[in-house]
Amino acid sequence: MKEVVLEKLKKSLRIEYICTIVACFSSALSSIGGFIDFSGTNDYDEITKAVYAMFSTVVLALLAWIIMDVKKKGTPFVSSIVCKLKTIAIIVMLGAIVPDLVTEVVKFVAKVSEGDSAIILFEISLGTKTVFILWLGIIIGIISEIFKYGVKLQEDNDSIA
C-alpha cells in the first residue's frame, strides 16, 4: 500500500518539478532582461523589477529543491525541508524590502557619478505590496514551524513501525 502511494506521489511531483524549473528559468531571464532594459533606458523601475525577479528565482530554485527532496525521501517531513522552508520565508521577507533599497542605491550612485552632490535618503514605503509580501514570508515561516512538528511526528511514527 505504501509503495503505491509513493509511486503516485513521485508521478505527481514530476509535473510540479518541471513547472517550478520552467518558472525558475523564466524568472531568471526576466531578471536579466530587467537589468538589460535598465542599461538601455535608465528606467529605475526596471531595476526594481529585476531584483524582484532575482528573489523569485531563488525562491523557485529552493522550491524545486524541496520537491526533489520529497520525491527522494518519500515524505515532506524531514529536517532539510524545514530548513529550506525557513530560508524561503527569510528570502521572501527580504524580497519585500531589498528591491526598493537597491533602486534607491542605484539612483544615488547615478547622481554622484553625474557630479551631483547627493544626500542619501532612503524611503522604505510600507505600501500594500510590501506588507503583503512580508505577510507571505511570515506565513511561510509559520508553515515551516508546522512542518518542524511534522518531522517530530514522522520520527516518532518511524520509530514505532
Residues 29-72 have pLDDT tens digits of: 999 999 998 888 888 889 999 999 999 999 999 999 999 999 88
Q: What percent of the chain has pLDDT over 90?
A: 55
For residue 130, pLDDT over 70 is answered with yes
- Mean pLDDT computed over every residue of the chain: 88
Show Cβ contacts of residue 50 under 8 Å, excluding neighbours closer than 6 positions: 30, 31, 32, 33, 34, 35, 38
pLDDT at 111 over 90: no
Please report the pLDDT score of residue 2 as a whole number.
65
Q: Are 8 and 76 in contact (CB under 8 A)?
A: no
pLDDT band at 161 (very low <50, low <70, confident <90, very high): low
Q: Cell triple for residue 87? A: 530560508
Task: Compute CA 116 distance to the chain's CA centroid, rounded to the nearest angstrom.
Answer: 36
Of 103, 95, 139, the residue nearest 122 (C-alpha): 103
Q: Where are the alpha helices (DSSP H) in the chain?
A: 2-41, 44-73, 79-113, 128-160
Label residue 122 by pLDDT band (50, 70, 90): low
Q: Which residues, at least 6 apart from 29, have a Cβ–Cβ distance to it below 8 Å?
A: none
Answer left, alpha or beta for residue 48, where phi above 0 means left and psi between -120 and 50 means alpha. alpha
Name residue, grid cell 514551524.
145
The confidence score (pLDDT) of residue 115 equals 74
Mean pLDDT on 99-124: 76
* pLDDT (mean) for 94-112: 86
